[in-house]
Amino acid sequence: MFEEIDQKKNKLDQKRPLPVHTLRSIREHLIVNWTYHSNAIEGNTLTLSETKVALEGITIGGKTIKEHLEVINHKEAILYVEDIVRRKEPLSEWQVKSIHRLILKSIEDEHAGVYRNENVIISGATHIPPDFTQVKGLMEDLIQQYEMHWLSNVHAVERACLLHIEFVKIHPFIDGNGRTARLLLNFELMQNGYPPIVIEKEDRAEYYTALDVAHTTGDSSQFVGLVKRILNHTFDLYLRLI
């Protein structure tokens, strides 16, 4: 199921250590694109070039402070994920809350890193997230499932997908769940030596449909297929540049 991806991973691993300047330019490209697309999926109206400028600390005329903060916060969240991967920290609820806290910092401080205390629905989805009273227990169960079953029995790429799917299914926060979920997906990929991927805004419809299918039927194959396709293209880019 993941043979082609793992063959490309082995090819890339054989080229390590990777060229410093190439790696730096790939990372800079990734931060801008990941931030732009993840925010755009959630309705941020900054363009790709505006996102790049905002990351350099320049204010874009006609755009809201919230949209600027979403860009700055997302970069900080990426840097945090890179740091915990570098330190090989295992996944925990604390990390999940810390990632989310960065996403909503100075935007909705009262909800940043705090599980929701009211019920929500996901616009356009069939699946309805669980009652808020169940969130804490379900998040504890998710981490336990991850530690006790997925780590030893599930391929890393599929594990990253399941983590994303189940997190979004719980929808533990008032806002910022999608961005947090995509950071968690890449956290798991990076922890296992895979490059992070960018789910682009052009894939939004396919992405949301695949998630809703997984949530309502338990069939994650459509979502896994989407991630595999993007990961394959990401490996192709790395191998072409290095």
Amino acid 114 reads: V
Six-digit token string for 143: 């981490």
Cβ count near 213 (within 10 Å): 18
Q: Rounded to an integer, what distance in angstroms lies between the CA atom of residue 228 and that of residue 1?
A: 9
Residues 229, 5 contacting (CB under 8 angstroms): no
Non-local CB neighbours of 2 within 8 Å, separated by 6+ positions: 155, 157, 158, 228
Among candidate residues 193, 191, 225, the one with its CA nearest the CA of residue 207: 225
Cis peptide before 17 (omega within 30 of 0): yes
Six-digit token string for 157: 């790429």
Non-local CB neighbours of 221 within 8 Å, separated by 6+ positions: none
DSSP secondary structure string, 180-197? HHHHHHHHHHHHTTPPP-
| Annotation says 171 is catalytic | yes
Q: Rounded to an integer, what distance in angstroms lies between the CA atom of residue 124 and that of residue 110?
A: 26
Non-local CB neighbours of 241 within 8 Å, separated by 6+ positions: 22, 26
Cis peptide before 19 (omega within 30 of 0): no
Amino acid 72 reads: I
Single out the catalytic residue among 37, 100, 171, 215. Answer: 171
Q: Which residues are known catalytic residues? A: 171
